[in-house]
Chains A and B, each alone.
Chain A
Amino acid sequence: MQNNLIYRIPVLGRLSESNLSLFAGLLAALLTTGFAIWFLKAENEYVIGFLLALAVAVTLGVSRLGGLGYVGRAFSDHEKLMNGAAVCGVLALAAVFREDHFTLLMIAIVLLYMLAGLGLTIQFGYLGLVNLSGASFLGVGAYTSAVLLAHTAVPPLLVLVIGGVMSALVGCLLVLPVLRTKGHYSAVVTIAFAILFMSFLQVNDTLGGPQGLATGEMALFGWGFNTGIELENGFYGSFYLNYLLLALALLVIAFALVKRLERSWIGLSMDAVRLDETAAACYGLSIARWKVVGFTLGNFLIGMAGALYAMMLGFIAPANFSFGDSLILVSIVLLGGIGNPWGLAVAAAIVVILPEKLQMIQEYRFLLFAGLVVLVLLFRPDGLLPRGMRNYIPGGGARS
């Protein structure tokens, strides 16, 4: 690694290139957090419009000046610190909005969509299996948690895991026809499943039919999540804060595992299967094995996100898991940058928060996202934050 380039910066004195990138990365994290707070607090639509324009202008400007390269290097060279900074950013948002139910709910939904997006990243980004029934697998997890919490005494934390397992099992059935398809035709199989699942929910009276089901709350060690936090010193936190923190914890674990998966021989195998099945088979890779493993792992993450989503909302109905929601999940992966977990953060924030803040576009949001996806595919075909080269050992070594 070349650290011998030294820069002089008026206030900071001499900085090596590596430290400069770290500085740029931390600054970017700080500014993003500050911007997010400002944006989430804004009520007036003109202010929101101004902030959006500001964000686009600053990003383009910094990118022109080459500053984004440093931020990118910060994420590759100082990965642990930058991961920590991102988590601190979310915690800062949670602290600032601790009493604001709606904002906390939005942030928690962003985190859960990211968790589901990680599942899709394994399927779509690494294996090339287009899954257009993401919301259905979210639904499998959600309904599993609703039923288990209502009729059994299974501890809610275990319900999250069972939600993931159920979703993975349903995926194991669906993977049989998927294995018989090549290329993007898995999309057709999963669309069929999404429609089937929706009809199943709507006619099934045990699961509440079109009206849906009430869901029990999350609880840890006998402490129910649906009560807000009140401390003696006057601190009050909305009950959504509990869900947000748990979603963040799950996301951090899943994120680390997906990153490790990508940076391993398994990630390499999955990429090889996606890029050329015939060549992969001639080098001993079992195509079916990796498709099953990847599809199952992905659905597990999606199902787990669904289980927590249901507990947090307290009420679920088939309309929460429509084909449109599946499209939203896929558009998050496409917008963010196929195969790059960090891209999910940016895209999920845009896709979830923007329509809520700009109520006037709420009705047109599908139109807006479709337009956005088309624009991104035209001008940045690899997404807003394209996936980089595989770096097996973060921070360098012989391979950076």
Chain B
Amino acid sequence: MSASDVLLSCEGVTRRFGGLVALDHLDLEVKRGDILGFLGPNGSGKTTFFNVLTGIYDFSDGQAHFAGENISKHSAQAVYRAGIARTFQRSRMCLSLSLFDNIMVGNHKHLNLGLGFNLFRRGAFARDLEQRYEQARDLVRAFSPNLADRMSEAVGGFPMLDRRRIEICRALISQPKLLLLDEPSAGMTHEETHQLMGDILSVREHTPELSIIIIEHEMSVMERITDHCAVLNFGKKICEGTYQDVVNNPQVREAYLGIE
């Protein structure tokens, strides 16, 4: 495999909170177009890894290269501009804002935020708005035609499944290279989870270049959508491979079920 196929490579990523080592020298590679599943018991460091990677927490040690760029010192804003977008475990939407507004929050790297443009060149603003609105609606329509007709409704009025869809649209609108999904099925029924995973697979069909890292506890989801999986326990990677390799690994069984 050539080096350019690797989108994200992490070497020895470590995060300490005082004496607690939440992430312990994690090495990881994600190829372009790959879907990597992230497994591990609660508190094993999966979300911490997302938070470190996206600049919410600093790296205590180690580094990460993304598309040839060292992102270990990047702020959250710079990580986003480099092309990493994420969703949150506790869905973080602006509930009082409209569906369209929420999606546009995710598109900030393409928005003209100049005072002159926004306050005085209203004609140009209206044309820009029209174009972005169409783009956002097309994206939403790909997930759910029903949602595309409700662009101006407040997100707080939508059920969890739709909120997750909107959150993923918010992450995708800026056309990132890497999408981080933090437990997208949290708070949803089995059937809803199934639908959402179908949506994610269809997104992948449309954008084969997009890489995804997904944290999930639903094993059936992992089996269905991931190309390979990595398992964390106490901040360390204990296993990596295809889904079948991982679930049959004795260390993984021990981490999840305890020693028999």
List residues of A whose CB falls within 8 A of some B CB.
257, 260-261, 264-266, 268-269, 271-272, 275-276, 278-286, 293, 389-390, 392-393, 397-400
Contact = CB atoms under 8 A, between A and B. Distances in A.
A264 B111 CA distance: 10
Interface of B: 54-56, 75-77, 79-81, 85-86, 88, 92-98, 100-101, 104-106, 108-109, 111-113, 115, 118-119, 122, 125-126, 129-130, 133, 151-152, 154, 170, 174
Contacts of A398: 130, 133
B94 A275 contact: yes
Given A260-B118, A282-B56, A390 B101 contact: yes
Contact of B113 (A269, A278, A280, A399): A269
Given A265-B112, A271-B94, A280-B105, A399 B100 contact: yes
A91 to B, nearest CB: 26
Contacts of A279: 88, 92-94, 105
The listed residue with most B CB atoms (<10 A of its CB), out of A257, A392, A400, is: A392
A363 B104 CA distance: 49
B16 to A, nearest CB: 21
22 contacts: A260-B118, A260-B122, A261-B118, A264-B118, A265-B111, A265-B112, A272-B105, A275-B96, A278-B56, A278-B76, A281-B77, A282-B56, A282-B76, A282-B79, A282-B85, A282-B86, A284-B109, A389-B97, A393-B126, A393-B129, A397-B126, A399-B100
A389 B152 contact: yes
Contacts of B97: 268, 271-272, 275, 389-390
Ranked nearest first, the 4 interchain pairs of A and B with the lowest CB-CB distance are A264-B118, A279-B92, A281-B76, A275-B94
Contacts of A260: 118-119, 122
Contact of B152 (A272, A276, A278, A399): A399
B118 A266 contact: yes
B197 to A, nearest CB: 23
A327 to B, nearest CB: 26
Interface of A is mostly: helix
Nearest to B137: A398
A284 B81 contact: yes
A265 B80 contact: no
Contacts of A284: 77, 80-81, 108-109
A140 to B, nearest CB: 23
The listed residue with most B CB atoms (<10 A of its CB), out of A275, A283, A389, is: A283
Nearest to B50: A282
Contacts of B98: 389-390
Contact of B106 (A265, A269, A281, A283): A283
A223 to B, nearest CB: 30
Nearest to A266: B118
Given A268-B101, A282-B56, A392 B129 contact: yes
Contacts of A276: 92-94
Given A271-B97, A276-B92, A389-B154, A283 B119 contact: no
Contacts of B85: 282-283
Contacts of B129: 392-393, 399
Nearest to A391: B152
Contact of B104 (A268, A275, A393, A397): A268
B125 A264 contact: yes
A26 to B, nearest CB: 25
